[in-house]
Amino acid sequence: MRMSHRAFAALAGLLLTGLAASGAARAAAGDDVAEREARWKDLRQSLFGDRAVETAKPLVRMDLPDRANDAALVPLTMTMTDKDRIKGLYLVIDDNPAPLAAHFTFGPAADPEELKLRIRVNTYSNIHAVAETQDGALIQTTQFVKASGGCSAPMGMTDDEAMKGMGDMRLKFAAPASGATDSGKPIAATLMIRHPNFTGLQMNQVSREYTPARYINRISVTYGTQNVFVMEGDISISANPVINFALRPAGKGPVTVVTQDNQGGRWERSFDVPAASH
């Protein structure tokens, strides 16, 4: 009886020591988690006021590398489940100085199942994608990304070189798979825009002064008379943006892209949609 008591005491001691140790480790991690959560709460209130942002049953899945090779060019894929419920999408990189990276509003010509773009990440950060549904609900998805220095990384060329051809746009449509005659299929498209998207945090290597911020703040894409999407953007979108999206196939007319930046730049170009092979 005594022995078992002592054994019990020893065992309890071991357990307590273990608990204390793991508890300490958790407390440290918990501080970080709590701090990041507080940051998000603050951003959430700035963006959405008192509107509830749900966490259950997220509508967006984010795929991005856990550890990005180039923090100024982090590829992000957002996959929307239940896409017909989604009216818009907010992309927030919590710890970037301008946290709201993009706000997409989808129009009737959009097939918002998948959206790909490349982002700048300034420091290890949570990324939040908040879907806004047709009935006005906000539903968030969270993903942590390890990348650092993306907003201040210079472009590796002079500012003039970086601005050469600014506003040039290309729109590539995915070639329909041979034999794929299903005209109901969405049309995948890749939009490429030449623009340095200067963050204002990049230092000119020669003058040692910061290059003034010059970033795309609005891209609108229409298919004939119908909206595909409008993206309000900021400095967290990588230089020379590339956006992959999809169109509903029922549209008529050309696809027109209008890009605007914060310095008054405006560029417009129309593209013909290849005829569906049906």
Which of 16, 31, 181, 182 forms a contact with other proteins (CB under 8 A)? 31
Interface positions, 221-250, toward other proteins (CB under 8 A): 234
User: How would you class 130 by CB atoms within 10 Å of its CB: exposed for 0-12, middle for 13-18, buried for 19 or more?
Assistant: buried
CA distances for 220 relative to 92, 130, 256, 269, angstroms: 20, 20, 8, 11
Q: What is the dihedral of CA 215, 193, 138, 76, to 10 degrees?
A: -100
- Taking the complex as a whole, how short is the minimal distance between the CB of residue 267 and other proteins, in angstroms? 19
Asked if 28 touches other proteins (CB under 8 A), the answer is yes
* Token reading at 106: 């989808």
> What sign results for the dihedral spanned by CA atoms 210, 214, 217, 223?
negative
Contact 268/257 with Cβ under 8 angstroms? yes
Judged by CB under 8 A, the stretch of 167-175, 203-211, 223-231, 264-272 that binds other proteins is 203-211
Asked if 4 touches other proteins (CB under 8 A), the answer is no
Q: Quickly list DSSP for 139-161.
A: EEEEEEEB---TTT---SS-HHH
Distance from the Cα of residue 202 to its chain's centroid: 21
Asked if 100 touches other proteins (CB under 8 A), the answer is yes
Q: Mark residues 139-178: x for contact with other proteins by CB under 8 A, - for none.
A: -------x-xx-xxxxxxx---------------------
Asked if 21 touches other proteins (CB under 8 A), the answer is no
Asked if 37 touches other proteins (CB under 8 A), the answer is no
* Token reading at 86: 């989604």
- Taking the complex as a whole, how short is the minimal distance between the CB of residue 228 and other proteins, in angstroms? 25
Judged by CB under 8 A, the stretch of 32-40, 80-88, 134-142, 239-247 that binds other proteins is 32-40
CA distances for 14 relative to 10, 185, 235, angstroms: 6, 62, 52
* Total residues interacting with other proteins, rule: CB under 8 A: 46
Asked if 205 touches other proteins (CB under 8 A), the answer is yes
* Sequence-distant (≥ 6) Cβ neighbours of residue 24 within 8 angstroms: none
Decide whether 12 or 38 has the Cβ nearer to other proteins.
38
Asked if 184 touches other proteins (CB under 8 A), the answer is no
Contact 177/152 with Cβ under 8 angstroms? no
Asked if 13 touches other proteins (CB under 8 A), the answer is no
- Taking the complex as a whole, how short is the minimal distance between the CB of residue 275 and other proteins, in angstroms? 41
Which of 105, 141, 142, 217 forms a contact with other proteins (CB under 8 A)? 217
Contact 271/224 with Cβ under 8 angstroms? no
Residues lying near other proteins in the complex (CB under 8 A): 28-29, 31-32, 35, 39, 42-43, 46-47, 67-72, 95, 97-100, 122-124, 146, 148-149, 151-157, 200-201, 203-205, 208, 210, 212-213, 217, 234, 262
